[in-house]
Amino acid sequence: FTAESDREKRDWMEALQESIAETLSDYEVAEKIWSNRSNKICADCKAINPDWASINLCVVICKNCA
């Protein structure tokens, strides 16, 4: 992706973040993330039942690691 100006870059990033937040607020999406057996442990420290999902990194992590 390219942006012609800092303003265009900020607008693009804001739109992307809003889309991610909207998607994660959808219960079905969250349910799919948490129901996957591989998402039952933190990708960093291996704690059980992590609280956070990183969409851009495609991992789930606990609050401590977040």
Which pLDDT score is estimated for 29?
Answer: 74
User: Can you list the positions of beta strands (E) in 3-58?
Assistant: 52-54
Q: What is the pLDDT of residues 7-63, one digit of tens each?
A: 999 998 898 888 777 776 677 777 888 788 888 999 999 999 898 887 777 789 998
Length of the chain: 66
Which of these, 24, 61, 15, 57, lies nearest to 3 by C-alpha position?
15
Q: Which residues contact 24 (CB under 8 A, 6 or more apart)?
A: 30, 53, 55
